[in-house]
A and B are shown apart, each in its own frame.
Chain A
């Protein structure tokens, strides 16, 4: 699962994108890992994440199976972090998304002190991850570099669409929907925040960064003025 690795953008565009995630490994440490995963999310919550999630149930904004029709006029876009933590019921991957380096650093430091025994990874720019490790007094163990997209890149959409859609590395956010939301923001039919919430509901593991998405949509609107 490389759902956070291949986000489109240069290092500067990841200045508000820091994902810290904990993973239990099958056959190594998944037994009794559920309380540790919950503890990881509880620590992360203290540092004001913009999203939390687990790979089985989704993120802090989820689709509703019985939506009230009045929601078309007053949609609830408040992330439900407690629901994410309460829902972890099986060994999996849990992620916390931050939109600033300081929060990611503080979370990493506290996670280290908690000695959960789970594998912890940070997905962001190469330098951003090094800064987090430095703040926590940790040396990196392994690194997985993204070399970007190759092959038939003529099939790919515009860079704004890619930046937004690749924030769900599982591909659950369609490029058509991302483009539609960018267009709706430009037309004034939705605010960048509302459009980001729509997109966030499709991310099935909670690694979508609504804060970065809002910024990208605002920038796209700004360029069309």
Chain B
């Protein structure tokens, strides 16, 4: 993303709307400026702000008069008065910033928007997490902190050392040059993104071990982590296997995403995955 200096009037509205705090008013040029190192190309400024198309010279003149008279105009806080934001042509590897940060752009590897993974949301037809398994979504960078791939790498290596299987239909897995060792492509290490999810699954017996491993790696990475745990429910919709393990580890299970099992496979030629029947 870039800001057209001929249009910008330094109103400062955009400095608040940037989720990464990457926009500031440069006092030397008196224009809003983007710190390209911190910008994750999420397009929140371009997509989220309403745009007026006012004449920049006129707006600057009015702002100067208001300033001289110590008057404060109280405009809407989510407006760019001169439509100064202009999308940039992104090249590799910077383009991965947008792929992981602008939720409207589907990931090429999975075709899914957002963080690019369906997790247990389609488990009723994908069979991604089966009976006796636990799916982990280890998400970095949210909310509002962001993450460098070099930090994600730490987690991937630790998980690979523990012999877990990475989810194939996941954008992070698709960026691995060696899935067995959990090694990500070298050329993206210095790219920062809004958030990214490492996705694995293990037998339920290993759930506690994985949580403890995540706790250990969290101490070494310079961002926040949001941990999600997916599991199959029993025949009556109950879930009495994974919840007790998590509660024993000190978690309070306040919120969940619940797949209610109404999905059906309807694409011609698509096959039902092998799913173990939940026994009564």
Contacts and interface: CB of A to CB of B under 8 A. Distances in A.
Interface of A: 1-11, 14, 21, 23, 25-32, 55-58, 63-69, 71-72, 75, 92-93, 108, 111-112, 115-126, 129-130, 132-133, 136, 138-153, 155-157, 162, 165-166, 169-177, 180-181, 184, 189, 198, 201-202, 204-205
A184 B74 CA distance: 11
Interface string B119-149: 1111111100100000101011111110000
Contacts of A121: 121, 257-260
23 contacts: A5-B226, A28-B263, A57-B104, A72-B76, A139-B233, A140-B239, A141-B232, A142-B120, A143-B257, A143-B258, A144-B228, A145-B251, A145-B256, A147-B253, A148-B227, A157-B144, A170-B103, A172-B42, A174-B20, A184-B77, A204-B104, A205-B103, A205-B114
Contacts of A141: 123-124, 232-233, 237, 259-261
Given A75-B76, A139-B237, A1 B224 contact: no
A145 B134 CA distance: 11
A180 B41 CA distance: 22
A56 B227 CA distance: 25
B276 to A, nearest CB: 13
A213 B145 CA distance: 21
A146 B17 contact: no
Interface string B219-247: 00111111111111101111100110010
Query: DSSP majority for the B interface?
Result: loop
Contacts of A32: 266
A92 B111 CA distance: 9
A172 B48 contact: yes
Nearest to B54: A69
Contacts of A170: 103, 114-115, 194-195
A55 B115 CA distance: 11
Residue of B101, B115, B258 with most partner-chain A CB within 10 A: B258
B77 A177 contact: yes
Residue of B51, B135, B224 with most partner-chain A CB within 10 A: B224
A202 B197 CA distance: 22
Nearest to B222: A152
A171 B195 contact: yes
Contacts of B237: 130, 133, 138-141
Given A139-B235, A147-B227, A172-B48, 16 more contacts: A1-B119, A27-B267, A56-B104, A93-B113, A126-B253, A140-B260, A142-B123, A142-B124, A143-B230, A144-B231, A145-B231, A145-B243, A150-B227, A155-B144, A171-B101, A180-B77
A136 B72 CA distance: 54
B66 interface: no
B47 interface: yes
B140 to A, nearest CB: 8
A165 B78 contact: no
A78 to B, nearest CB: 15
B79 interface: yes
A150 to B, nearest CB: 5
A108 B262 CA distance: 11
Nearest to A189: B74
Nearest to B219: A151
Interface in B140-161: 140-145
